[in-house]
Chains A and B, each alone.
Chain A
Amino acid sequence: MLGFFRDRKETPRLGTLRQLFLFATLSRSELRVIDGMLHERRYLKGEIIFDEGEEGQTVYAVITGRVLICRQGEPETGKITEIGSGVIFGELALLEDAPRAAQARAAEDCVLASLSRGDFESLLDTHAVVASKIALQLARQLGRQLRDRSAR
């Protein structure tokens, strides 16, 4: 009976979300749940997204633009990596209260999507399947980072 009310359209917005690594495995209805929780933020080139040592509350995904991850206050000499659209950063904030391990700055004007830990925790209670899919993607991302570091 609920099928009558179900919306079968894939909006451009949901298409954009599907491009983000964190949400790549979610179904359309699951993406719609997440879409209601996501915040979109715009940063200018050079603007600080978060500082090293700051307690993280959200995970970010780059929708457009590039983000520089570097050591605190050393954007040139302390560069760790630079990430582009589709990639997530600050992911440990979803898992624990630990301080941010590095500083994040907008390497160019960028649009970011953010999901807060509070919303992720409420997902664990209400939509365990969605939360577990996100957690699995998160684990994959962490595993990839670990492999990259070991290779270096």
Chain B
Amino acid sequence: MKGARDTNTGSSRYLSSGPLVWTATIACTTLLLVLLRQALWFVVPFLLAIILYYALFPAVRRLTLAGIEREKSAAIVAGVFAIAAVVAMVPTLPWLAAQAVSGEEAVSRYLAGGQALLDRTLVMLESQFAFLKRAEFHAQMAKKIAAFSGFYAQDQLTDTLLGAAVSLPALLLAPFLAFFFLRDGRRFLKFCTDAVPNAYYERTLYMVDRVDATARAYFQGLLKLTALDTICLGLGLLVIGMPNAFGLGLMAAVLAWVPFVGSVIGCAIVVLVAATDFPSDPWVVYAAIALFLFVRLLDDFVFMPLTVGRSLHMHPLPTVVLIFVGGAVAGITGLILVLPLAGVIMVIAGTIGGIVNDDRLRARNRFATTLRAERITSDLRA
């Protein structure tokens, strides 16, 4: 019996890793994304609620330490947040309503501005390269862009705006859900952990800690990254002379939540605004592009390691595969969700794999079950 365990050290031995765990992680992530796609109206507020939860959680802890019960702390923090949100919305709503009325016109204007910039660039390219002129590159591209713009403005844009308007009320669920996460989240986790047999208890606790740490590091890191990106982009756009510099910076930083595609879309929107507002000054556009490239580099080499970092502990290759899978299975939502979801599933799959491979733990569980059965049936035998 002695020496039933080896004496490896390091928490990583708690997590099993191998082709089976990886296959299970990718399969479960894909399946969950497929299911989530069916409940998209719920996924976005749920995601926002998780982000809100991790943003407000430190305040709840502070109040608990000040001697206030957890329930009251959650209610106070959620209440203060709701009041602050309403106070912020009061002056913003009329402005948003005005923007919404002229929204379609503004989009058309900015698309036209972008098209004009593209025209000028293509003309310039044709004047520089003779083979482009011979191929009538400008005329061909202009025809295709006009066809795409017409299709987009008439069909896609209207559908997208209508879809966004319909899903807006569902966003009100986010603070509601966040309040319950703050109030009952820990109790729910304890409730789940308490249901686990004694033999697997420490492993489960470790798994819950890891899942919480992974999600917290990811979402709190994401918020910090968004704030840093907003400041850098806002300051940069302000120096360039763009209007609403910090508004545009914030929008681009939030769009960057979508891996790869988000940054490109954010940059494209700012370029469209620059091309429309400064039609005679192409250098503003070039400066905006340079700024985005610079902030992208800052993100990759400075901000990311400081904030989100390697919170998911995933190898770059499966990360890229998962991003493609997420995009293919559940579109934009899949792109945003796939990495944190896979990070959490990987911890769960690794823990289950570790338990399945641990004969000693399973033997202990069988022993405890026998003890309980004997205790329950002792009077029956007598």
Interface: A82 (CB within 8 A): no
**A49 interfacial by beta-carbon distance below 8 Å:** yes
Q: Which of B5-13, B281-289, B324-332, B340-348 forms contacts with chain A?
A: B5-13
Residues of A within 8 A of B54 (CB): none
Complex Cα gap A45–B368 (Å):
10
Q: Is A36 within 8 A of B13, CB to CB?
A: no
Interface presence of A126 (CB below 8 A): yes
Complex CA gap A70/B63 in Å reads 42
For B206, give its contact among A29, A44, A50, A118 (CB under 8 Å). A118
**CB of B375 closer than 8 Å to a CB of A:** yes
Q: Which residues of chain A are within 8 angstroms of B65 by Cβ–Cβ distance?
A: 29-30, 33, 126-127, 130
Tell me if B120 is interfacial: C-beta within 8 Å of chain A: no
Would you call A84 an interface residue if the criterion is a C-beta within 8 Å of the partner chain's C-beta atoms? no
A73 to B5, CA, bound (A): 11
How many residue pairs link A and B with beta carbons under 8 A? The number is 125
Q: Which of the candidate stretches B68-76, B98-106, B244-252 sits at the interface with the other chain?
A: B68-76
Residues in A with CB closer than 8 Å to B208 are 118
A51 at interface (Cβ–Cβ under 8 A)? Answer: yes
Q: Roughly how many angstroms separate A50 CA and B200 CA in the complex, as a whole number?
A: 10
Once the chains are docked, how many angstroms separate the CA of A127 from the CA of B66?
11
Nearest B residue to A116 via CB reads B205
Residue-wise interface mask of B (287-309) relative to A, using a CB-CB cutoff of 8 A (1 in contact, 0 not): 00000000000000000000000
Whether A47 and B371, one on each chain, are in contact in the complex, defined by CB atoms closer than 8 angstroms, is yes
Choose one: A6, A99, A126; the contact of B7 (CB below 8 Å).
Answer: A99
Q: How far is the CB of B20 from chain A (nearest CB, A)?
A: 22
What string of 1s and 0s marks CB contacts (under 8 Å) between B1-43 and chain A?
Answer: 1111111111101100000000000000000000000000000
Whether B313 is near chain A, meaning CB under 8 Å from some CB there, is: no
Task: State whether A57 and B375 are in contact (beta carbons under 8 Å apart), knowing that A29-B67, A33-B64, A73-B1 are contacts in the complex.
Answer: no
Pick from B3, B63, B186, B202: contact of A50, CB under 8 Å:
B202
Are A36 and B64 in contact (CB-based, < 8 A)?
yes
In the complex, B201 has a CB within 8 A of chain A: yes
A5-B76, A36-B64, A57-B205 given; 18 more Cβ-contact pairs under 8 Å: A5-B63, A5-B69, A6-B68, A7-B67, A29-B66, A30-B65, A33-B64, A44-B371, A44-B375, A47-B198, A53-B6, A54-B5, A54-B202, A57-B206, A72-B1, A73-B1, A97-B11, A99-B7
Question: Measured between alpha carbons, how far is A99 from B8 in the docked complex, in Å?
Answer: 8
Task: Report the Cα distance A43→B8, complex, angstroms.
Answer: 26
Chain B residues with a Cβ closer than 8 Å to the other chain, count: 49
Contact pick for B201, options A41, A51, A117, CB 8 Å = A41
**Measured between alpha carbons, how far is A37 from B186 in the docked complex, in Å?**
8
- In the complex the two chains form, is B61's CB within 8 Å of A127's CB? yes
A residues in contact with B9, CB < 8 Å: 55, 97-99
CA distance A37 to B193 in the complex (A): 12
> A71 and B66 in contact (CB under 8 A), knowing A44-B368, A48-B364, A118-B206?
no
A36 engages B70 (CB within 8 Å): yes
- Chain A residues with CB under 8 Å of B243's CB are none
Residue A18 CB within 8 A of the other chain? no
Pairwise interchain contact A74-B201, C-beta atoms closer than 8 A:
no
Q: What separation, in Å, do the CA atoms of A72 and B3 have in the docked complex? A: 7
Interface centre among A53, A72, A117, A119 (most CB of B within 10 A): A53
Task: Verify if A39 is at the interface (C-beta below 8 Å from B).
Answer: yes
User: Cβ of B2 and Cβ of A118 under 8 Å apart?
Assistant: no
Find the B residue at minimum CB distance from A52: B5
- Binary A-proximity of B155-190 (CB < 8 A = 1, otherwise 0): 000000000000000000000000000000010001
Q: Does the CB pair A74–B70 fall under 8 Å?
A: no
| In the complex, B150 has a CB within 8 A of chain A | no
Q: Which residues in chain A, 83-138, are within 8 Å of chain B measured between CB atoms?
A: 97-99, 114, 116-119, 126-127, 130
Bound Cα distance from A40 to B209, whole angstroms: 17
Once bound together, how far apart are the Cα atoms of A44 and B372, in whole Å? 7
B229 to chain A, nearest CB (A): 25
Known: A56-B202, A58-B202. A28 touches B7 (CB 8 A): no
Q: Does B58 contact A (CB under 8 A)?
A: yes
Interface assignment of B362: CB less than 8 Å from any CB of chain A: no
Q: Would you call B213 an interface residue if the criterion is a C-beta within 8 Å of the partner chain's C-beta atoms?
A: yes
Instruction: Decide if A46 is an interface residue (CB 8 Å cutoff).
Output: yes
Shortest CB-to-CB span from B4 to chain A, Å, is 6
